[in-house]
Amino acid sequence: MKITVDEDKCCGAGSCVLTAPDVFDQRDEDGIVVLLEARPHRERHDAVREAATVCPAAAIHVGEEA
Amino acid sequence: MTPHPETAVSPEIPDFPAPRSSGCPFDPSPDMRALSDRGPVTRVRSWGGSTPWAVTGHAEQKALLADARLSVDFSRPGYPSPVDPRYTHAGGTTDLSFVGMDDPEHNRLRRMISGAFTVKRVQAMRPAVQRMTDSLIDEMLAGPKPADLVQALALPLPSLVISELLGVPYRDHGFFQRNSRTMVSAVATGDERHAAHTALSEYLDDLVGRKTAEPADDLLSALGRRIEAGELTRREAATMGVLLLLGGHETTANMISLGTLLLLRHPDQLAAVRDATGQRAVDDAVEELLRYLSIVHLGRRRTAVEDIEVGGRTIKAGEGVILLGELANRDPRVFPDPDRLDVTRDARGHQAFGAGTHHCVGQPLARLELQVVYPTLLRRVPTLRAAVPLEDTRFKYDAVIYGLHELPVTW
Ligand code: HEM
Ligand code: HEM
Ligand code: SF4
């Protein structure tokens, strides 16, 4: 799994932080997403997919390459 | 906007909004529901013969709200502004800061305040929100019965919370609350509302000045630093302060009162919220109430700046688009058995806060307030009940922010 985030689209909602806190954080100054791990461990894949689905700005993209 | 020749005179296009005739007060009206049957993207007839698109589907709304080819700028020809004279600011009488701007201008301003709404910052406010909720409930319980839950709890709580966030000194809370209440009051005259708006704008302008000179740990002080750095004018800062106050006041208040009434009518669901042992169960209940009630009615409004293919239709550049969150949130493709209130379902995909770049900036705070207020109220006042029958409850049927004029309760 390879995650990419679009900082321009991100609206700082933090849904990703609530869903997968080991993978996503937010910048203090404006709440924009910080990707902690672009290739997270398998056990986090479900949470990451869920974060991508609930992201209100469609700013998280999950690629399935190894 | 020039209406499309082939559709402009078609008698089959339904009027929007249709007057509310019947149906459960907690559900979208049957006429509104009928729009969903016409497909996820369908034409409606609005004022002056215009025929903007109404978007009823969940996936279609999310895609469109995240699409930069839709503009919120209400000065564009084709913008599907509600004509009703009550919808004054859509005509541009009030400066709504970044709400009426497109990116990149929108994000330049929005990102100066969004840092105050990170998950971490908002969670840190939980004890303060709990304290405010408890003291408002103390006051209500010490007063006469029946009490109006709207005046006793629903309206003051969001106003106190936003004062805390902005950094309004305690001694000014009375002034701040009085004027913000007038601004969202249904019975205030236009002149009264205008006077309250002016008073609040002047107050915030003055406070921004004081916070710039003597900064503290609050949002207005953070904006003060931006002013000193030349990134923001004092007027822009004050306008954002008014925006946060107004955007978060009646919305949150109506969720508190309407959500409480809905739970009182579903005792099993109420018990699940009252007796919830984990935070997750409370959070899920709040998401379901947000989904089910979808209190921001009559649509996010946008204008296409380029042709957009969506839901099997082509929205042409220059056409108006009305995105109906209350219908998206009842989309059976996303929420099985959508008309059933179920506080245990996973409702997180709802669009009660919109989506895309204008997604509600205050939503983490609104969620926190609701997560605190429902269980606290139900636990502290276990015998809470409505003091008037449902038939006598006054719903805000034609308001953009749906809710209750008052909610007399006893215990
Ligand atoms: C968070 C965003 C919003 C803020 C801060 C806001 C702020 C305001 C303000 C300041 C007024 C009084 C202004 C005046 O009368 O000149 C007002 C009135 C009003 N707004 Fe908004 N507004 C917001 C979103 C919306 C949306 C999305 C709509 C729907 C199109 C809407 C519909 C109305 C209506 C109908 C009134 C008149 C209320 C009445 O006269 O009873 N507002 N709003
Ligand atoms: C349950 C309560 C609330 C609901 C249902 C709600 C709903 C919404 C919706 C649907 C929008 C999107 C409007 C659009 O797309 O045109 C919005 C935007 C906004 N809301 Fe909220 N809101 C709530 C609470 C709050 C609070 C507490 C605040 C402030 C602290 C706030 C401030 C704003 C602002 C400033 C915007 C404009 C965002 C932008 O244009 O970038 N709201 N809200
Ligand atoms: S959920 Fe989406 S919009 Fe929200 S912070 Fe994460 S990436 Fe940004």
Q: If you ran DSSP here, which 8-state letter would residue A36 be given?
A: S
Domain membership of residue B249 (yes or no) is yes
Averaged over A45-58, what is the pLDDT? Answer: 94
What's the pLDDT score for residue A40?
A: 95
Q: Using an 8 Å Cβ cutoff, are B51 and B43 in contact?
A: yes
Q: Which among B107, B114, B355 is the nearest to A56, CB-wise?
A: B355
Domain membership of residue B11 (yes or no) is no
User: Is pLDDT at A55 greater than 70 in this prediction?
Assistant: yes
Write down the pTM of the prediction. Answer: 0.91
The total domain count for chain B is 1
What's the pLDDT score for residue B180?
A: 82
What's the pLDDT score for residue B332?
A: 94
What's the pLDDT score for residue B91?
A: 37
What's the pLDDT score for residue B11?
A: 53
Residue scoring higher pLDDT (A61 or B402) = A61
Mind listing the pLDDT tens digit for each residue in A6-45? 999 999 999 999 999 999 999 999 999 999 999 999 999 9
Domain membership of residue B278 (yes or no) is yes
Domain membership of residue B6 (yes or no) is no
Pairing of strands B147-148, B408-410: antiparallel
Find the DSSP H helices in B149-266: 149, 156-166, 173-183, 190-213, 219-228, 234-264
Domain membership of residue B154 (yes or no) is yes
Residues of chain B scoring pLDDT < 50: 1-10, 84-92
Pairing of strands B53-55, B320-323: parallel
Angle between helices B234-264 and B219-228 (to 10 degrees): 160
Helix H or strand E segment including B301: strand B300-304
Task: Please provide the size of chain B in residues.
Answer: 411
User: Is pLDDT at A63 greater than 70 in this prediction?
Assistant: yes
Residue from A5, A15, A62 to probe ligand 3 pocket by mutation (most atoms less than 8 Å from CB): A15
The pair of structure tokens assigned to B73 is: 């700028």
Nearest CA in chain B to A24: B119
Q: Using an 8 Å Cβ cutoff, are B323 and B302 in contact?
A: yes
What's the pLDDT score for residue A10?
A: 95
Nearest alpha carbon to residue B86 among B219, B8, B193, B246: B193
Phi-psi region at A27: left, alpha or beta (left = phi > 0; alpha = psi -120 to 50): beta
Contacts of A57 in chain B (CB under 8 A): 66, 355-357, 359
Query: Ligand 3 centre from A12 Cα, in Å?
Result: 5
Domain membership of residue B321 (yes or no) is yes
- For residue B323, give the 3-state DSSP assignment: strand
Residue B246 CA, distance from chain mean position: 10
| B25 cis-preceded (ω within 30 degrees of 0) | no
Asked if the Cβ–Cβ distance from B107 to A8 is below 8 Å, we say: yes
Domain membership of residue B23 (yes or no) is no
Question: What CATH code is carried by the domain that includes residue B298?
Answer: 1.10.630.10
What's the pLDDT score for residue A64?
A: 81
What's the pLDDT score for residue B85?
A: 38
Mind listing the pLDDT tens digit for each residue in B200-235? 999 999 999 999 999 999 999 999 999 999 999 999
CA B344, B349, B355, B356 dihedral sign is positive
What's the pLDDT score for residue B144?
A: 97
Whole domain around residue B237: which residue ranges? 30-410
What's the pLDDT score for residue B1?
A: 41
Q: How far apart are CA B289 and CA B264, in angstroms?
A: 13
Asked if the Cβ–Cβ distance from B355 to A28 is below 8 Å, we say: no
Angle between helices B126-142 and B156-166 (to 10 degrees): 140
* Domain range summary for chain A, segments of one domain joined by +: 2-63
Q: Report in angstroms the alpha-carbon separations of A29 from B122, B128, B348.
A: 14, 22, 26
The 8 Å CB, 24+ separation contacts for B330-336 are B330/B27, B330/B28, B330/B33, B330/B36, B331/B36, B331/B56, B331/B57, B331/B58, B331/B59, B333/B57, B333/B58, B333/B59, B334/B58, B334/B59, B335/B291
CB within 6 Å of ligand 1 — which residues? Answer: B 82, 86-90, 93-94, 96, 99, 186, 193, 197, 243, 246-247, 301, 400
What's the pLDDT score for residue B321?
A: 96
- For residue B310, give the 3-state DSSP assignment: strand
Residue B294 CA, distance from chain mean position: 9
CATH T-level fold of A2-63 = Alpha-Beta Plaits (3.30.70)
